[in-house]
Amino acid sequence: MRHLIIFAHPNSQTSFNRAILDAVVQTSQQLAVQAVVRDLYTLNFNPILSWEELQAVYQDIVPAEVKFEHQLISQADLITLIYPLWWMGFPAILKGYLDRVLSHGFAYKTEEGQSVGLLGGKKMQHFITIGNNVEIYQNMGFAQSLKDCLVDGLFNYCGITDIQHELFGDIHLIDDHARHAMLQKVSEKTRENLTALLEKKHDN
Ligand code: FAD
């Protein structure tokens, strides 16, 4: 069982996103599931998909750093994404990571003019913090749009269908007690997802 955690926050030490990361890692450790953390800022991951790289991918030429991420994704049973919402999307470093890593031939292929996702069979969870209020986002239809674009639209295309996501809102307005409850929820969700995968492995 492998758990890949992709973390995208520039403050990798004291941010609330870091607290979410700690909760996810700790839960994995408690269940003795190996967790690999890709802390994109600390890694200084280059998020720029160059024209040369984009062309080369169609000839199966992939840079070593991208190949390494491919291996980690291929081996993962659960993939966790942790990020703040920035201008209704991923922080640029995570967007760029996905641009480069979810490449043609690895994450999807084209067959008779149709795209076919290649990452089926994996489970995924997103923990997304937002400055705004979740209920307001739901009422305005933004929460659904985020689900459609950042979660389903993108990863379903790559064949991942078992995806959960949680929006944690009002992050700057709430008190420590409420933030602690959010961290509890992160641990519970992670435990549920890992336990389900462990049971499935055990049954097979
Ligand atoms: P932090 O600022 O690190 O922490 C929030 C609070 O949690 C702080 O009070 C901190 O002390 C406390 N905290 C830290 N660690 C712990 C812990 N272990 N336990 C308890 N409390 C803790 N928001 C939107 O809604 N929509 C947008 O489109 C949007 N666009 C943005 C674009 C940009 C460029 C930026 C910078 C922000 C944007 N935001 C947006 C807001 C952004 O989503 C939030 O600022 C972010 O999600 C907050 O998460 P954080 O980890 O940075 O919080």
Does the beta carbon of 15 sit less than 6 angstroms from any atom of ligand 1?
yes
Number of other residues whose CB lies within 10 A of the CB of residue 128: 20
Are residues 73 and 101 in contact, defined by beta-carbon separation less than 8 angstroms?
Answer: yes
Query: Which of 9, 22, 85 best tests ligand 1's pocket when mutated (most atoms within 8 Å of CB)?
Result: 85
Tell me the pLDDT band of 201, cut-offs 50, 70 and 90: confident
What distance in Å separates the CA atoms of residue 137 and residue 146, rounded to the nearest whole number? 9
Q: Is the CB of 16 under 6 A from ligand 1?
A: yes
Residue nearest to atom 3 of ligand 1 (CA): 15
Give the bridge partners for 109, in sequence order.
116
Q: State pLDDT tens for residues 113-167.
A: 999 999 999 999 999 999 999 999 999 999 999 999 999 999 999 999 999 999 9
- pLDDT higher than threshold 90 for residue 203: no
Please state, in angstroms and rounded to a whole number, the distance separating the CA atoms of residues 14 and 21: 11
pLDDT in tens, 4-27: 999 999 999 999 999 999 999 999
Enter the pTM of the model. 0.98
pLDDT at 204: 78
Could you give the C-alpha distances from 52 to 5, 61, 63, 109, in angstroms and in order? Answer: 28, 10, 11, 19
* pLDDT the model gives residue 175: 97
146 lines ligand 1 (CB under 6 A): no
Q: What is the pLDDT of residues 74-110, one digit of tens each?
A: 999 999 999 999 999 999 999 999 999 999 999 999 9
Q: For residue 143, what are the domain limits?
A: 2-203
- Residue 121 burial class via C-beta count within 10 angstroms: exposed 0-12, middle 13-18, buried 19 and up: exposed
Collapse the DSSP code of 164 into the 3-class scheme (helix H, G, I; strand E, B; otherwise coil) and give the result: strand
pLDDT digits (tens, 9 = 90+) for 34-55: 999 999 999 999 999 999 999 9
Residue 11 is part of a domain; what is its CATH number? 3.40.50.360
The tally of domains found in the chain comes to 1
Dig out the tokens for 34 from the structure.
Answer: 């190996």
Identify the burial level of 140 via C-beta atoms within 10 angstroms of its C-beta, where 0-12 means exposed, 13-18 middle and 19 or more buried. exposed
Q: Is 23 in the pocket of ligand 1 (CB under 6 A)?
A: no
| Nearest alpha carbon to residue 22 among 94, 82, 76 | 82
Who contacts 86 (Cβ-Cβ below 8 Å, separation ≥6)? 92
Q: What is the DSSP string of 100-162?
A: HHS-BTTTEEEETTEEEES-TT-EEEEEEE-SS-HHHHHHTTHHHHHIIIIIIIHHHHTT--E
